[in-house]
Amino acid sequence: MLKHLTFMIFLSWALVSYSQQLKEQNYQQGLDFAKEGKYEEAIVSFSKAIEVQPLDAYAWYNRAMAKNMMGEYESAIDDFTTCIGLSRSYEKVWYNRGLTKLYVGQYDGAIFDLNQALQIQRNYPEANYYRAYLYELRGLYDFACTDYQNAASKGYRVPAEKLQACRDTNYNGLLKNPLLKLFKTSKQKSYGTTEKRPIAIGCYENVERYLRLLRSPEGKFVPFEIKPLPELTVVKITYSSKGKAQEKNLYFDLNKPCDALIIKGFKTFKEIPESGPP
């Protein structure tokens, strides 16, 4: 009986040891793939590590980061939320979930997450900077300027025009007409895809906001490459439609007030509810 019990204890220890080795192997493969820019492969490896040890917070965190690089923002938020449930005191997961919520227009949730990151780590200039940007999008310029100045005092390279705008009581230079969400789709096929029918976007910051909110005909994130020009900003996008790889140029007019529509045949992200604590 004692020998049998000893054997069972040894077998249990061996299984745990093998499980740990398998998790570490998959986890390291995921990190190596991510360093090489092979994010799809990294996601697969981190998923295998999670299957072996589902309570490993770092595997969830790194899979979320890899998904972010692929533009899979909604799924990344889910992974960050699981990670927070496993390790609430890790400031970087709150910070990165906040940035991801910013990408999909969850502004209140993003501010909540950056608040949490700053409560855990007071000296976190990146969190100050992006919370300032969120306040700026919301039109809360006093709060935005306080955070921009805090970020700069902590060593973050805040654009000089932001700090200059904060010295002006009229806040000239801060966003007055931000793009928060995309609601309507253009009915004209040439809208946004020709120089004669550019997307009225208002300012350069809104260009990236538009591209992060845009989704392909298949509902996927649309990778983009911005090429600023004197008159128009041209963006090359790549996407898949009916299983075929496609390319298209989008044209943005920075000088006209923002009145952006979704280009014909495309979508915006599928809106998910704002979330506070996990």
Reported confidence tier of residue 42, pLDDT bands at 50, 70, 90: very high
Compute the mean pLDDT over every residue in the chain, rounded to the nearest whole number.
90
**C-alpha closest to that of 74 among 41, 109, 115, 48:** 109
Structural contact between residues 182 and 268, judged by C-beta atoms closer than 8 angstroms: yes
Check pLDDT > 60 for residue 185: yes
* Distance from C-alpha of 273 to C-alpha of 172, rounded to nearest angstrom: 33
Per-residue confidence (pLDDT) for residue 253, from 0 to 100: 94
Interval 222-274: pLDDT, tens: 999 988 777 789 999 999 988 899 999 999 999 999 999 999 999 998 766 65
3-state secondary structure of 141: helix
Per-residue confidence (pLDDT) for residue 26, from 0 to 100: 86
Reported confidence tier of residue 278, pLDDT bands at 50, 70, 90: very low
* Distance from C-alpha of 179 to C-alpha of 129, rounded to nearest angstrom: 19
Reported confidence tier of residue 23, pLDDT bands at 50, 70, 90: confident
Q: What is the pTM of this model?
A: 0.87
Annotate 44-98 with three-state secondary structure: HHHHHHHHHCCCCHHHHHHHHHHHHHCCCHHHHHHHHHHHHHHCCCCHHHHHHHH
* Distance from C-alpha of 50 to C-alpha of 46, rounded to nearest angstrom: 6
Check pLDDT > 70 for residue 144: yes
**C-alpha closest to that of 83 among 99, 94, 72:** 94
Average pLDDT for 80-91: 95
* Distance from C-alpha of 235 to C-alpha of 227, rounded to nearest angstrom: 6
